[in-house]
Structure 1
Amino acid sequence: MKKTAMTLISAMLAASLLLSACSKDASAPTASQAPSAPSSTTPSAPASADAGKKESANAAKVNPPGKFPIVNDKITLKVFIAGNALVENFDTNGYTKWLEDKTNIHVKWIVADVKNYKDQLNLALASGDLPDVIMNAGVSPEQQMIYGDQGTFVSFTDLIDKYGDLTKKIFQEMPEARDAVTAPGNKIYSLPYINDCYHCSLDYKMYVFKPWLDKLGLKEPTTTEEFYEMLKAFKEKDPNGNGKADEIPLVGGISASGPSKSAIDVFLMNSFIYDDGDKRMLVKDGKIDVVYNKPEWKEGLKYLNRLYKDGLLSKESFTLDKDGLKKIAENPDIAIGGAIPAHSPSDITIVEGKSNRWLDYQPIAPVKGPSGYQKSTWLAYDKIRGGHFIMTSANKYPEATMRWADAMYDFEANLYSNFGVKGSSWEPAKQGDLGRDGNPATYRLLIPFGRVQNESWAQFGLNYRTDKDWYAGQAVLKQPDKEKMYYDITKKNYEPYKPKLEEVVPPLFFPTSESQQLAELDKTINDYFKSMTARFIIGDADIEKEWNNYVGTLEKMNLKRYLEIYQKALDAKKTVKK
């Protein structure tokens, strides 16, 4: 019994390394302290290398592609899904019911906590009590390779050929989608989630409360020094006019589900050196490198520390989530928030809400740093996201699961999954309706996205949303039209400052042998640099006294080997494309 418990604990530690969220408070362990990634001998449920070859005596008879329901006799899939704060109840949800009626596939949901879903998935993977499907958990390429090699995750490759009509159509229309999700050995462990959203590709924006600029007679800042002076005015000149020093000049936030679009460093660090908002990597002359050990990064940290020391940057920037930021931006009766980094107004305000703050907060262009550097973060490959639909070896119905996933790519299914029930949240376009591109519209949106509701999965599940059909195809029913507004401001303020495509790290897969080492290095190095970034900003660590030790510690954590693994994967990708 004791031995069994120790084995389980060891497996849990290994899974924790692979899927844990980055620590914000604790100091990162050294490379020698980090737990090992799962070895190729880690026990897992039996599975073939490819789900398309899997046959089960319990498998239901699946109808051919294009015919619904998918199965005549109802089956149940156990689906693990990361929590979504905008969805009241996945069991009784309108899209859940619509999809079940269409496919005859019932879902037993395992809805993980929004903030701790990675820990819950760790436990499931470590214990062997696997769901049939893992959805919207953002499982990384490294994790896919490791668990795929062990047989815990199974490949969709053959299943797509047999049952994935819409998936194959997507791969034909967008070949880069297949390339992005295909691992070595032609294995596809994760079906792609595609959201070809223009304004989302230049996602790290800085929203400033424009009524305060107008009241104080300020222009939008164009340099880091002007940005500093703007915040100083917000702090000292009572722009909300209530006679109290309650203004918060600048505040950011964090996310438990991946990189935060409200991270305090990204927009401003791009005035010193390129910050991609995630791994903090760039490609220069074909070589991958990190930016957080460079002199320019140090200068950016010094600027952020200056904002913090002068009371212009809120200390809550390292603890607040979206809900916390929204409480600041939507503070009742009177505005208190000056500048907030975010993806869009829906992250920090109630779009089309009574306060109208969603129009008051306007995104400013990247500001120029002391050396003249000025960039915007470009998520060039973000339209194709992997790790959001994975099938495990516990699944008894791989063929039906493939067809169920494929059905989610249908345009009508996307309307249900993103907005809600037909006739309630959306309806087909009417005669004369025009989309944002001036062509006939496809659909009308009746209720704005961003509210807590129980009709849709609020952009969860699988999606195939193209900019032309999805965003331009929505009927313009009134002004201001929020999507057109987002498009126009992105084109004007952010497009001119994006990096070149060859400077952006593309999606990469790594051989299993290197994935295990990479998982350890990635967690150790990234936890450490993120922890030290926060410490340098708030002054808990003196950047002048501790910078050299910080850079040396990264080297001791084997940053060189970390970059070698990435470089090898990048070179291999280039070779395959040739």
Structure 2
Amino acid sequence: MQRKKWLPVSLGLALAATAVLSGCADKGDQQGASGQSQQVTVNPAGQLPITNEKTTLKVLVKGSPFVEDFSKNEFTKFLEEKTNIHIEWDVAPEKSATEKLNLVLGSGDLPDVIMGFGVSPTQQLIYGSQGDFLDLTPYIEKYGAETKKMFDKVPGVKEAITAPGGKIYALPMVNECFHCSMSQKLWIYKPWLDKLGLAVPKTTDELYEVLKAFKTKDPNGNGKADEIPLAGAAVGPNVNIDSFIMNSFILDSSANGVGQNNWNRLFVNNGKVDLPYNKPEWKEGLAYLHKLYAEGLIAPQSFTQDRDQARQMGENPDINILGAEIAQHNGVFTTFSGPSGRWLEVVSVPPLKGPKGTQITPLNNSVGQGRYIITKASKNPDAAFRLADLLYSEEMTMRETIGRLDVEWKYADKGEVGINGKPAIWKKTDVVLPTVQNVSWSQTAPTLRTNDFRLGQVADPKNPQETILYNETKQNYEPYKQSMNTVLPQMFFTNEQAMELADLEKTITDHVQEMIARFVIGDASLDKDWDGYLKNLQNMNLKRYLEIYQAAYDAKMKK
């Protein structure tokens, strides 16, 4: 038998076939890939346990650096007790998760469920049309009590996850996180500014002067030249060194790990799909970053380090060595509620005004695509869907993201006020979990957190994390937010478009990422190699790449 051709998951693209599975069984007896059926009674929507008999689901999950062991996790045990569903985990380490999923999809040896990978709409469409991913619309109709509530509470979610033809191949994580919606941020260590008599920088020129002072004036006072003025990372939420800073030169709508358009940086310009990285302004931004790097103001580790290494840099024992970091929040390079307290000593820097006055906060989509997929190998897709639907309930969402009811969190008391100034809904307790814990799944599964619910957390001075993020975002980033008519919506592509995009997107985005690093480090010269870089993009058929996106965008706008 000839094996199916497959393409990298990170692009959300692959070749499509024609077989499509449809319908759902009344009692979980839909046949799996082996042709065998597992006769298990699945109880009606909203009723627990999900199955009367113990049922096992094989789940391939993207590993989390914050979860110790999914198989022994407290939330896993709680779910099994409530649902009668046992999960047999196959954990793909975060660093190699893409490669792991590539291998699984390429081999055809599929699990019952794929969870936490953020599979893109295009990949959903392609593997769905092949029949590898089940259409979930009949399951939503029959069992989707919580899913339907989600569609009602957050308009636009159903449309965002529905493929052409009306099929839904994956369930999302919906997180109307106010601070996440404007996730490209810069955090700076306030005690160093105070010691040196400096203000929070407002322009790119001022940032340069601040970083130079951090490097040369011994702000930590230990008599050593050990200060790191600015750092980013290769893994984590909006930690890339070009994130945030490029928006002082041109809109850079990349969102590391958020939404569909991770790495492709596309936006809408007067109704036309456009991109920044072939523009003169992009070159100017790279020249600025190269200047910082050449003068030792950017840590070389910024292009390679993961979350753990970034946190070790920010939480250096005994004395602080890091002046500023690019990250979505102040718990990436430092530790929320950590013993050093440095997460409380960094403040956000508003978008910097660039040489031509550019000053933008890009917007991210709140719909995390492709978080839960049921494959054709599932012998009991009804039970698999009911488990996912249950995760959208309020209590399950809180247990999955925060921890145990009445241990790590409680419902609010009457009269308590939320972060948004309205009557509070819930609050954290004084119990603080370690960074690596085994109580929750740490935002791996499909969950529902509306803006009202998130901001309905009690504004507790003992747990100021969310209050800080809300206030910093409201004051420093919302005033500069990207215009909605320039935001590229999440899109599905036809099989023909997807096949053509596959090689184009990989080739182009890989080249852009490589050249960002080379131009910043100085391995490539902006004076000598910029024209060659642009020519390479032309030879990679950047024009056709944009034409395909434009066609998909035009089709979406006509709906």
- TM category, shorter: over 0.9
Residues 102-122 of structure 1: per-residue CA shift (max 9 Å, x gap) = 111110011111100111111
Deviation at residue 163 of structure 1 after TM alignment: 0.7
Distance 1:100 1:62, change over 3 A: same
1:218 and 1:496 mapped to 2: Cα distance?
A: 23
Residues 360-414 of structure 1: per-residue CA shift (max 9 Å, x gap) = 11111011111111111211x2x11111111111011111111111000010001
Name the % identity. Answer: 47
2:320 to 308, 332, 335: 335
Q: How does 1:473-552 map to 2 (within 5 A)?
A: 473-479=456-462, 481-552=464-535
Q: How does 1:46-195 map to 2 (within 5 A)?
A: 48-49=21-22, 55-56=30-31, 57-195=37-175
3-state SS of the aligned residue for 2:323?
strand
Q: Which amino acid aligns with 1:575?
A: K
Residues 283-302 of structure 1: per-residue CA shift (max 9 Å, x gap) = 01110011100000001001
3-state SS of the aligned residue for 1:187?
coil
Distance 1:174 1:59, change over 3 A: farther
Q: Which amino acid aligns with 1:491?
A: K
Tell me, yes or no, if the aligned pair for 1:427 and 1:443 is still in contact at 8 Å: yes
Tell me, yes or no, if the aligned pair for 1:18 and 1:143 is still in contact at 8 Å: no
Tell me, yes or no, if the aligned pair for 1:90 and 1:109 is still in contact at 8 Å: yes
Aligned positions, number: 543
RMSD of aligned alpha carbons: 1.9
| Residue segments in structure 1 that go unaligned for 5+ positions in a row | 23-35
Q: How does 1:406-421 map to 2 (within 5 A)?
A: 406-421=389-404
State yes or no: 1:197 paired with 2:177. yes
3-state SS of the aligned residue for 1:388?
strand
Residues 389-446 of structure 1: per-residue CA shift (max 9 Å, x gap) = 1111101111111111100001000111011122321223334433223444322212
Tell me, yes or no, if the aligned pair for 2:173 and 2:369 is still in contact at 8 Å: yes
Q: Which amino acid aligns with 2:332?
A: D
Deviation at residue 145 of structure 1 after TM alignment: 1.4
1:461 and 1:357 mapped to 2: Cα distance?
A: 30
Deviation at residue 192 of structure 1 after TM alignment: 1.7
In the alignment, which residue of structure 1 is the partner of 2:250? 273
3-state SS of the aligned residue for 1:123?
helix
In the alignment, which residue of structure 1 is the partner of 2:260? none
Residues 427-476 of structure 1: per-residue CA shift (max 9 Å, x gap) = 2333443322344432221234772111100111111001212x222223
2:397 and 2:295 mapped to 1: Cα distance?
A: 47
Distance 1:437 1:289, change over 3 A: closer
Deviation at residue 480 of structure 1 after TM alignment: 6.2
Residues 543-562 of structure 1: per-residue CA shift (max 9 Å, x gap) = 11111111111111111111
In the alignment, which residue of structure 2 is the partner of 1:25? none
Tell me, yes or no, if the aligned pair for 1:254 and 1:260 is still in contact at 8 Å: no
Name which of structure 1's ranges 436-445 and 499-508 shifts more when overlaid on structure 2: 436-445
Tell me, yes or no, if the aligned pair for 1:79 and 1:107 is still in contact at 8 Å: yes
1:348 and 1:323 mapped to 2: Cα distance?
A: 9
Residues 5-43 of structure 1: per-residue CA shift (max 9 Å, x gap) = xx66xx5xx53x331489xxxxxxxxxxxxx943537xx
1:52 and 1:226 mapped to 2: Cα distance?
A: 64
Deviation at residue 516 of structure 1 after TM alignment: 1.7
State yes or no: 1:285 paired with 2:270. yes
Q: How does 1:366-405 map to 2 (within 5 A)?
A: 366-379=351-364, 381=365, 383-405=366-388
| Residue segments in structure 2 that go unaligned for 5+ positions in a row | 32-36, 255-262
1:374 and 1:154 mapped to 2: Cα distance?
A: 44
Q: How does 1:553-572 map to 2 (within 5 A)?
A: 553-572=536-555
1:487 and 1:419 mapped to 2: Cα distance?
A: 18
In the alignment, which residue of structure 2 is the partner of 1:354? 339
TM-score (norm 2): 0.94
Deviation at residue 305 of structure 1 after TM alignment: 0.6
Residues 176-210 of structure 1: per-residue CA shift (max 9 Å, x gap) = 00011001010101112100110111111100011
Q: Which amino acid aligns with 2:328?
A: H
TM-score (norm 1): 0.91
Deviation at residue 324 of structure 1 after TM alignment: 1.2
